[in-house]
Amino acid sequence: MQAAAAHPDSYPYDLAFASLPEPTLLVDEGGSLTGMNGAAEALLGPAAVASAEAGEPLARALPWLAPAAADVLGGAPEAALEAEVRTGGGRRCLSARLRRVSGPGGALRGAVVVLEDLTERRALDARLRAAEQLAALGTLAAGIAHEVNSPLACVVAGLSFVEAEHERLGPAVAEADLVEARAALEEARAAALRVGRIVRSLQVFGRPTAPLLGEVELARAIRDAALLAEPALRGRARLALSLAEGIAVRASEAALTELFLGIVAHAAQSLPAAAGGEEGTLRVGLEVRGGEARVEVAAEGAGARPLAAPEPAAERPDLGLLVCHGLASALGGSVAVGTGEGGGVTALVRLPLA
């Protein structure tokens, strides 16, 4: 709709108003919504159109605009605001610029309101902030890995020396002592090697985000991510991996580790802390189906719950999931997140084979 013509000569102005690309509203001097152009109709939806056609007070038609409009109608030359608004197309982040309209002699005639949809821009800003945070985390991870690697190498070398000495002195030591000492050495070596795997995962995670692509084994990337996700799982769930070996995709190892770390951590959040009770289970399966690699993640256990009601990513973005979606898309794949029968988070990652 458009504002009713006050004079036959107003037709060109009415046509220009209707054709403006910016969503634009008209408010009369009494604070009622009296007109909107086609762009505003498309943005705000049928309910707002009906309010404008009825000339409803702005406080009822678009209450989020009413305080700024009152300022302008009360004497301020202009006003501006941003608000998250539910429109006919869902929740949107809108900016509004209001300007006082005066007639001959400066008499108040109303106000004009120009709207802008900032939803996509705000979502992009959120993704950029998430990327910056991940880059900082990657730098920190690489630094930690570097600091841990040298003393760890000394520990492993020392264990190797002790094992060699143990073998050399074996005949002179009682059999019972040998068995106990060897068991302790094996446990220490296993622990040191586990720390080494964690360090390698941190080094992968801390590499630049756009390295050369190559063939990467998915099972290995998932195991690396599982190691890094252990703090998020502790006290909530045990990890159950069912990974087919030999499945490779064309990607960067860092990107895959980051992708699966984000998915596993997100799913773990749907499981409550055990608090002395039984932990849940986070199942991760890998297989080839339909000519593509499929990684299925499911959070199962008492008290599992959806994290939030589903909403378009641009409206209520989960930054971790936004990053995961971006990583999968860059590799030619996709991520679908849902809710399982027991209420926990499920996720399906699909990637093209190498």
In degrees, rounded to 5, the angle at the alpha carbon of residue 264 between the alpha carbons of residues 139 and 267 is 130
CA 223, CA 295: separation in Å to the nearest integer?
A: 12
In DSSP terms, which residues pair with 57 in a beta bridge?
32
With CA atoms as reference, report the closest residue to 352 among 258, 247, 259, 279: 247
To which CATH superfamily is domain 212-354 assigned? Answer: Histidine kinase-like ATPase, C-terminal domain (3.30.565.10)
Evaluate if residue 96 carries a pLDDT over 60.
Answer: yes
CA 228, CA 140: separation in Å to the nearest integer?
A: 14
Strand segments, DSSP code E, in the chain are 24-28, 33-36, 78-87, 90-102, 108-117, 214-217, 237-243, 248-251, 280-289, 292-300, 334-339, 345-352
In degrees, rounded to 5, the angle at the alpha carbon of residue 61 between the alpha carbons of residues 58 and 67 is 40
CA 227, CA 144: separation in Å to the nearest integer?
A: 15
Mean pLDDT of 300-325: 55
Give pLDDT tens digits for 148-180: 766 677 677 777 777 776 677 666 665 555 666
Confidence of residue 308 (pLDDT cuts 50, 70, 90): very low
CA 227, CA 234: separation in Å to the nearest integer?
A: 11
Locate 57 and state its tokens: 């007070």
Confidence of residue 88 (pLDDT cuts 50, 70, 90): confident
Give pLDDT tens digits for 314-329: 333 345 677 788 788 8
pLDDT of residue 180: 67
| Alpha carbon separation from 44 to 86, 114, 117, 334 (Å, rounded) | 8, 12, 10, 31
Query: Which of the following CATH numbers is that of domain 8-117: 3.30.450.20, 3.90.1150.10, 3.40.50.1240, 3.30.360.10?
Result: 3.30.450.20
With CA atoms as reference, report the closest residue to 80 among 55, 33, 115: 115
- Of 203 and 307, more confident: 203
Percent of the chain at pLDDT > 90 equals: 28
With CA atoms as reference, report the closest residue to 266 among 333, 319, 188, 209: 319
Give pLDDT tens digits for 97-131: 999 998 888 889 999 999 999 988 888 777 777 66
Is this structure's pTM higher than 0.75? Answer: no
Q: 249: which residues sit within 8 A by CB, 6+ positions away?
A: 215, 216, 218, 256, 293, 331, 333, 351, 352, 353, 354
Domain boundaries, the chain: 8-117, 119-206, 212-354
pLDDT of residue 27: 94
With CA atoms as reference, report the closest residue to 95 among 110, 77, 67, 114: 114
CA 83, CA 92: separation in Å to the nearest integer?
A: 8
The sign of the torsion formed by the CA atoms of 265, 270, 272, 274 equals negative
Average pLDDT score, the chain: 79
